Structure 1
Amino acid sequence: MNIYVGNLAPSVTESELRTIFTRFGAVTRVMLKNDQHLGNGHAAGYGYVEMPSINEGNSAIAGLNGKIFRGKTINAIEAMPISSDPIKERRRRGRVVTDTSSDN
């Protein structure tokens, strides 16, 4: 199960995030995001935790969502899967894109 974790303090490390999730079960991957695309590389305040067990992932979400961690109330929810088909993904999310180009 892939879990989105938001509203993280900028100083949170992947190791710390792994530690709090490990209380609920096995953790296979932790990835904190930064705003590298903007050029400064500062922590973006969110990341993802992957847990192999859906039951343990759900327990972690229930146990951590809304809890205070490093002075901030964190958000933990099941992450949406990333689609390799961007148009299909937009349709799934309710953003149907219509091609308005003409063949003339």
Structure 2
Amino acid sequence: MNIYVSNLSFRVTDEDLNGFFTPYGEVKSAKVITDRETGRSRGFGFVEMADAAAGAKAVAELDNSMVDGRPIKAVEAQPKPPKDFNPFRNSGGYNKKKRF
């Protein structure tokens, strides 16, 4: 199960994130997302749990819990839409063709 964790303190590391979820079961990976240019945390990350039931329990217990003085949000991660996804395509929006 993949879990999206947001509202993280900028001081939280990958190891910290892993430690928050380890009591609930095996953590396959834990990654705090950082800015490419500055290397600074962007305040969210992803955790992959080996077992879906353990992941669901972790989400239930950690969602809205206080971590480093902030209430974190933990939810099951949703897959990214396809790269060519455009919600405005064929929606009657702007048309480049000139009408004379």
Q: What TM-score, normalized to structure 1?
A: 0.80
CA RMSD of aligned residues (A): 1.9
Alignment length (residue pairs): 94
Identity in percent = 33
Residues 47-102 of structure 1 deviation map (CA, whole Å, 9 limit, x = unaligned): 0000021111100000100000011100000001135x334xx47xxx25239577
Which blocks of at least 5 consecutive residues in structure 1 are unaligned?
none
User: Which is richer in helix?
Assistant: 1
Residues 30-54 of structure 1 deviation map (CA, whole Å, 9 limit, x = unaligned): 1110121xx2221100000000211
User: Which is richer in strand?
Assistant: 2
Matching of residues 45-64 of structure 1 within 5 Å: 45-64=43-62
Query: What stretches of structure 1 move > 6 A for 4+ residues in a row?
Result: none
- Rg comparison, structure with higher value: 2
Which blocks of at least 5 consecutive residues in structure 2 are unaligned?
none
Q: What TM-score, normalized to structure 2?
A: 0.83
**AA in 2 matched with 1:78:** E
